[in-house]
Amino acid sequence: MLIIKGADVYAPEHLGICDVMVCGGKIEKVEREIPVCYKDCQVIDGSGMRLTPGIIDQHVHITGGGGEGSFHTQAPATQLSDFIKGGVTTVVGLLGTDGITRSVENLLAKVKALREEGMTAYCLTGSYGWPSVTITGDLKKDIVFISEILGLKLAISDHRAPNISTEELIRAASDVRVAGMVSGKPGMLTLHMGDDPRGLEPVFEALESTSIPIKTFRPTHVTRNWELYEQALRFAKMGGYIDITCDSGPYKEVAEGLRRAEKAEVDPTRITISSDGQGSWSEYDEAGNLLAIGVSSVAAVYRQIVDLVQNEGMEFEKVLKFGTLNPAEALELSNKGRICPGADGDLLLMKQEDLSLDTVISMGRIMMRNGEILVKGTYE
């Protein structure tokens, strides 16, 4: 049993100063004052801290991304401490460009390893390519029979994409939709969006010619260029979810994107942010030659939230939802992304004055305390 006392609770709605009790990995109580009635109850003093749900990062290359500049540019796999340092308690892993030397089998094995080490992890089948790489040979069976697999990854409108037809996109979305219905999962088709001028047009064509629910399609990297983002705002106003990749380096696409969404009167609950962690960012010239490559951090969502509050003047409660409640709703994980009785004990304590990360709790287990990582991966 664990009680966090006297923290300023953002659930993510601002509740003010409260105590939170965690038992058996679940939140048991959220009250103004919870008495410590058991001598073996662990107590954390949360005074001077903000208590929030753990971050949900739905786009991480947990087995490593990259490889677009030949074999030596493959990024390494993530480690448990990478997530803890970034306040991530739930992750969705996926493949990227390379569905050749990397496999869904290896991806699933890493998901299981992260679960064994103490955090919540899921993944997607497929990669950029089409037909999709799978475990069972059938994307529907992967989603239905493998509990950790929530949906499918695919790339469109990108020079690295398979350039599938609208009919093929419809077939993939239909298969994902049915598999999700059968298995009680979100049945989501995460779409890596590139810079090609068509952008989201294939998705709009699919929606116009079928009755596939818009929630099936999940475009990501939508601030890659502002023409694409205008399409993404239209998509969100139709009721879809859009995912914005966190800034890497001095760029400010996320802040600008959120301001444009507010100006366009887009429902903020339709927007999520993710890190693209351990995936590579890359720049190409007009001839398609690789100019630069680097690796994104899995701590990007936490850093983005802090930056938006401290440097962009945005409201903490509002910004927090983009990395907690909104992805929980999008992934249909009712036990995640919130602080309330029955929710999983995934919690963060941030210092009130500078939002530095002090404590990370995953499923009721303390992973970081006073800024020190207490639980590391098997080979760290």
Query: Mind telling me the catalytic residues?
Result: 276
Question: Angle CA(223)–CA(229)–CA(230) in degrees, nearest 5?
Answer: 160
Cβ–Cβ < 8 Å for 338, 90: no
What is the enclosing helix (H) or strand (E) of 284?
Answer: strand 280-284
Three-class DSSP category at 322: coil
Q: Which of 119, 63, 109 is nearest to 86 (CA)?
A: 119
- Position 96: which residue type? G
Helix ranges (DSSP H) in 118-209 = 139-145, 166-183, 201-209
Tell me how crowded residue 102 is: count the other CB atoms within 10 A of its CB: 22
Q: Which of 17, 82, 27 is nearest to 51 (CA)?
A: 17
Three-class DSSP category at 220: strand
Alpha-carbon Rg for the chain in angstroms: 20
Q: Which residues lie across from 305 on neighbouring strands?
A: none
Cβ–Cβ < 8 Å for 246, 275: yes
